[in-house]
Amino acid sequence: MAKTIIFLILVALVIVFVVQNTQVVEFRFLAWTISMSRALLFLGTFIIGIVAGWLSRRPKGAGQKAA
């Protein structure tokens, strides 16, 4: 329950942060240069972070107790 509340608060803060940063910026990655809204850049970075965190979770094995 606490994790869900913390997650929802974090998502709300990220949304407020993204909405307040809508300027167009130039984004460079390796050989690519992309002009995009700073909001989209932050939102994409946040989503990549969520996916990376989700993928890095260790599955519960037989030797671990369930929380």
- Residue-wise pLDDT for 17-55, tens only, equals 878 888 888 988 888 898 988 888 877 888 899 899 888
What angle is formed at CA 40 by the lines to CA 34 and CA 41, rounded to 5 degrees?
60
- The total of structural domains in the chain comes to 1
What is the pLDDT at residue 8?
93
* Residue 26 belongs to domain spanning: 18-55
9 part of a folded domain:
no
Q: Does 12 map to a domain?
A: no
pLDDT value at residue 9: 94
Nearest-angstrom CA–CA distance, 26 and 35: 4
